[in-house]
Amino acid sequence: MIGPSGQAGSGKLGTRSRAIVALSVVFVVVLVSRLAWLQTVKGPELAALAQQQRTRVYDEFARRGSIEDTDGRVLAYTMRSRSLTTSPNVLRAEAAERHTWNPKVNPPPEEYLSTIAHTISEKIAGSGASARDVDPEEILDKLNKDSGYEVLVRNVDPDIAAAIAAQFQGIAADRQDVRVYPNGAIGENIIGKTSADGDGQFGYEAWADSTLSGSDGSVTEEVSADGQTIPGTLRDRIPVINGSDATLTIDLDVQTFVQQQIEQAKANSGAEHVSAVVLDAKTAKVVAMANTGTIDPTGDIIAQRKRGKSFGNPAISDPFEPGSVAKIITAAAAIEDGKTTPDEVLEVPGSIRMAGVTVHDAWNHGLVNYTTTGVFGKSSNVGTLLLAQRVGEDRFADMLTRFGIGQPTHIELPGESQGLLPDRSQWSGGTFANLPIGQGMSLTLLQMAGVYQAIANDGVRIEPRIVEKITTPDGTVIPADPAPQTRVVSGQTAQTVRTIFQAVTQNDPTGINRGTGPAAAVDGYQIAGKTGTAQQVDPNCNCYSNSMYWITFAGIAPADDPRFVIAIMMDKPQRGPHGEGGQSAAPLFHDIAAWLLNHYNVALSPPREGPEQLTLHIP
């Protein structure tokens, strides 16, 4: 018989069974709910995370375009390179761990690090054309640093870097493009440079950064848990677009010569700075544009900056008061409007008073008979203002605009200044006593060259340009857009003005018909040009200084059949460009012009019939 106790035991067992079943049901419900939550709520997120963990995106970097001179000689290009990098802390820890596991096979960490340093040094030293000395002790110092990342050596041949990385666990060969400037400091004020990240920083590199840099590409692949590529998973390819190549208008030979000449002139004259611009007379293309103190990007840039060198381009960024070199504008206006002729004789006193301002010539004299040619050949301020009065203020303001004064040239370089020219509405009583003789306004050396280019090009001013063409990655050649042109004066006026300004460079042993710049003359060629001496402002008195000057010269070679315009500015010279007495840029113009005419084998000019008459005796 089953007694009461047996029934009770059976009841307890049933209760436990029901509890177990209930707990199991709860567990299943929780499990199913969790699974449902994972699949429905967290599922997409987890799937995306898994996809992300097995997905690799590989960047494909664009090649930066090269920069060449007008003859195709390379001025800048990009070289594929590598940097050897490591994590010193991780490298040492792993070396110590390997040595602990198997000291017979794995050397102590200090020995391993020394082997790395000396192997890197030896392999780079023996890498052929890219060989260079790398101090193993410097590498060893970096390997022993308390650091998570160190660049051991930059600019390593890719094959050498890959071999080193394969030999030593923990050493990586990181991609590093190197921008190479094979000509050092030559033309660097034009070319500029790129940053460590490959972005344009200065000069044309900065101005044309988007054109030169191109666009990086990428490709996506999936990999297995052990890092192997999963076949058939290649997707999302973004094609790389390499940068375009740029051909500039500059001639490397001319740029080199001009840069050497102005550096020598600076040293000889004691000037703070010297700049020179050479334009093609007919097209206004920049053949050379040089400044002293240009940095060599292949050297120690920090040390060069401390010595005052820079990537700046004062020829386009630093305006100055031109002085008498700008008198050619007054001459052109007077001839164009028929206000005078080259042979007209003017009675020129030693001073003139205009709107309450008294202007003197640079030398003391009484009443002198100068021809119009003599006014400019002798650089008479008074005679120039007499002619300017005939032209009138409104017409003269118009001529300044036509010659591009106070306007940017839109040269394809960053940092250009438009100079300074008072608006016609703001002219005061003394403004017209200053502007016709090159005072009261400022212009850049490139603008000054542009004034003479208009006269050289039979009266048509063309905005100067420095880009010849762009070549796209697929080989398509895109010529530079035509530069804007302005008819300034007639062709006949321009020819007459060129004849007048040849008097500046003519010599005369008696001095009567000698111009102010005979040292600019080149044997066998007719040379037109103008000297300039402009006082700088003394910051101590905020007045014009009697010891600090901008010395300028701009000219056309040859004048009878113009090929080149050359403009020069010397900042505060103490002597001439050859170290001689006086402060004239004419000798430097001669050196550059003579070399150019010979370099391009320019035909000699026809001989002229005697000197121009500059001064007539007053009976």
324 is catalytic: yes
10 Å CB burial of residue 300 (0-12, 13-18, 19+) is exposed
CA distance 290 to 599: 18
Task: Tell me which of 66, 275, 324, 584 is the catalytic residue.
Answer: 324
10 Å CB burial of residue 306 (0-12, 13-18, 19+) is exposed
Closest CA to 392 of 337, 347, 446, 328: 337
Measured CA to CA in angstroms, residue 401 lies from 323, 482, 491 at distances of 18, 21, 18
Cβ atoms of residues 567 and 532 within 8 Å: no
CA distance 316 to 302: 24
Beta pairing partners, 179: 78
CA distance 54 to 230: 9
The amino acid present at 60, given as its one-letter code, is E
CA distance 451 to 182: 34
Q: Which element (helix H / strand E) includes 85?
A: strand 82-86
Beta pairing partners, 358: 353
> What angle in degrees, to the nearest 10, is found between the helix axes of 586-599 and 252-269?
160
Residue 607 makes CB contacts below 8 A (sequence gap 6+) with none
Start-to-end C-alpha separation, the chain: 170
CA atoms within 13 A on the CB side of 233: 14
The amino acid present at 225, given as its one-letter code, is A
Closest CA to 189 of 67, 48, 291, 326: 291
DSSP state of 539: T
Which residues are known catalytic residues?
324
